[in-house]
């Protein structure tokens, strides 16, 4: 498994190029970003990465609060697909081959079935666009108890169902252990039964969304089971550090290894 660091949350007082170098010095070889629309931003990460042995592995294609490109809204389909097409081009130009898709928030007047049908239809068309480029879209369920009230896709079961319904290699699920610990628990059983539908992992400590070693989740055990299930993709550190960035990342590196 390949552990990556969300560059947006660490060494925030430093220029982007220096952040990449600092992350590399902590032992990591992969980063991801919440960015996606700024080609220069992505290329800066890519260029600094080449100088420091770091690869950019994931971007965010849309945020839950961006109502105009929310894929649960049927009328947004054209704008959503344009976003997928443009952001995937940005990512690929920087050497990145995957991106995260959020469902968007609940829409008044739409039934749960309509939300799900709109999202599945949008992901199928987006997956066709991405698949032609060799790009992967990872659909993310989020918790609605602590961080994302009003978000539609808060069920990992629904996310897997959409991945299976779309049935395209370019569409997978992002499994965020932090979010799903809050929503569901019983992580290892679900992950191992559905590992073929998972294209990326995120992590943070529960509660608080801080360092992995400070929460209730036994991450070394969970990671061991993920690897036993055959997963060899990326495992993202998406937490808000309480410790200084270097200390936090080094302690996390030692904890996971």
Which domains does the chain show, CATH number per domain? Answer: 2-256 (3.20.20.150)
pLDDT number for residue 238: 98
pLDDT number for residue 161: 98
- Nearest one of 38, 10, 36 to 23, comparing CA atoms: 10
Question: Strand, coil or helix: what is 237?
Answer: strand
Backbone angles phi, psi at 115, to 5 degrees: -55, -50
Instruction: Please list the pLDDT of the chain residue by residue as tens digits (257 residues).
Output: 899 999 999 999 999 999 999 999 999 999 999 998 899 999 999 999 999 999 999 999 999 999 999 999 999 999 999 999 999 999 999 999 999 999 999 999 999 999 999 999 999 999 999 999 999 999 999 999 999 999 999 999 999 999 999 999 999 999 999 999 999 999 999 999 999 999 999 999 999 999 999 999 999 999 999 999 999 999 999 999 999 999 999 999 999 99
pTM, entire model:
0.97
Beta pairing, strands 136-140 & 98-102: parallel
Contact between residue 143 and residue 106 where contact means Cβ atoms under 8 Å apart: no
In the chain, count of helices (H) and strands (E)?
Answer: 9, 8
pLDDT number for residue 162: 98
Other CB atoms within 10 Å distance of the CB of residue 157: 11
Question: What is the spatial distance between Cα 50 and Cα 2, in angstroms, rounded to a whole number?
Answer: 17
């Amino acid at each position: 498994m390949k552990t990556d660091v969300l560059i947006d949350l660490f060494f925030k007082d430093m220029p982007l190029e220096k952040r990449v170098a600092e992350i590399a010095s902590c032992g990591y070889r992969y980063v991801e970003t919440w960015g996606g629309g700024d080609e220069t931003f992505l290329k800066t990460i890519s260029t600094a990465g080449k100088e420091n042995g770091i690869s950019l592995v994931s971007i965010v294609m849309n945020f839950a609060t961006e109502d105009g490109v929310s894929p649960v809204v049927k009328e947004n389909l054209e704008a959503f697909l344009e976003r997928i097409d443009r952001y995937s081009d940005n990512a690929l130009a920087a050497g990145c081959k995957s991106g995260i898709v959020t469902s968007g928030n609940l829409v008044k007047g739409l039934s749960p079935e309509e939300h799900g049908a709109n999202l599945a239809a949008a992901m199928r068309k987006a997956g066709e666009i991405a698949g032609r480029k060799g790009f992967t879209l990872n659909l993310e369920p989020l918790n609605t108890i602590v961080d994302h009230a009003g978000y539609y896709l808060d069920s990992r079961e629904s996310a897997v169902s959409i991945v299976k319904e779309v049935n395209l290699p370019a569409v997978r699920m992002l499994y965020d252990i932090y979010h799903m610990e809050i929503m569901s628990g019983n992580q290892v059983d679900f992950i191992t039964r559905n590992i073929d539908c998972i294209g990326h992992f995120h992590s943070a400590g529960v509660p608080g969304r801080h360092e992995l070693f400070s929460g209730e989740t036994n991450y070394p055990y969970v990671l061991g089971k993920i690897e036993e299930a055959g997963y060899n993709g990326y495992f993202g550190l998406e937490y808000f550090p309480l410790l200084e960035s270097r200390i936090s990342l080094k302690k996390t590196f030692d904890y996971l290894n």
